[in-house]
Amino acid sequence: MKLLGAILAGGASRRFGSDKADAMLGGRKLVDHVADALRRDCDALVICGRTHSHIARLEDRPAAGLGPLGGLCAALAYGRDGGFDAVLSAPCDAPGLPTDLFFQLSKGGPAAHVADHPVIGLWPCALAERLQSHLEQGTDRSMRAWARIAEAAPVELAAAIFNINTPEDLAKAGLT
Ligand SMILES: Nc1nc2c(ncn2[C@@H]2O[C@H](COP(=O)(O)OP(=O)(O)OP(=O)(O)O)[C@@H](O)[C@H]2O)c(=O)[nH]1
């Protein structure tokens, strides 16, 4: 399986107040924690929506401002064109991803996502066109709606995932 890791890193970080991808935790940027987790299983890595110097950046598709699905759509198209089988997606704000994320998700089937965190998922690149046309139709652009369309299985992980949405979340994460 040729796997592309995609870090979804657009959005306004309104609750955080500044770009949360660059927030520091344990001396490293949040985005670097996520990149390390994805690199373990992925053959290549892209970042969707924001520049990060060490990682190839993709523009959201079919347009900017559509939310995380715009980033996933860009990653799926890039993956399909580059001969990848699937995309492993994760947000830039989840620094505690499990070391065996791909293994746990792949038990759900070819398309699967973390239960209650559909931004973290495994998506066959064969879904690229389907997601593009879903976004062009302008219907429900939530990750949850897409997970249903993609028939992605929700997978309960062995340990809970935490997201950093606010400065308070970051402070709490620093204490764990
Ligand atoms: N590529 C891309 N990623 C996005 C977009 N919107 C949100 N994301 C990412 O999706 C993940 C979940 O989004 P949120 O937690 O709602 O992030 P956000 O919209 O920046 O935060 P708030 O403004 O506080 O809601 C985060 O990793 C965001 O960086 C977008 O339009 N494009």
Q: Could you state, in order of their start, the residue ranges of all structural domains in the chain?
A: 3-175
Report the run of H or E that residue 75 belongs to, with start and end.
Answer: helix 68-81
19 ligand 1 Cβ < 6 A: no
Whether pTM exceeds 0.80? yes
Average pLDDT across the chain, whole number: 94
Structure ipTM: 0.96
**The CATH fold of domain 3-175:** Spore Coat Polysaccharide Biosynthesis Protein SpsA; Chain A (3.90.550)
- The two tokens of residue 108 are 């759900």
pLDDT score, position 158:
86
pLDDT score, position 176:
55
The CA 24 to ligand 1 mean position distance, Å, reads 18
Mean pLDDT of 52-56: 83
Instruction: Assign 50 a pLDDT band (cuts: 50, 70, 90).
Output: confident
Pairing of strands 44-48, 153-155: unpaired
Binding site residue list for GTP: 8-10, 20, 60, 93
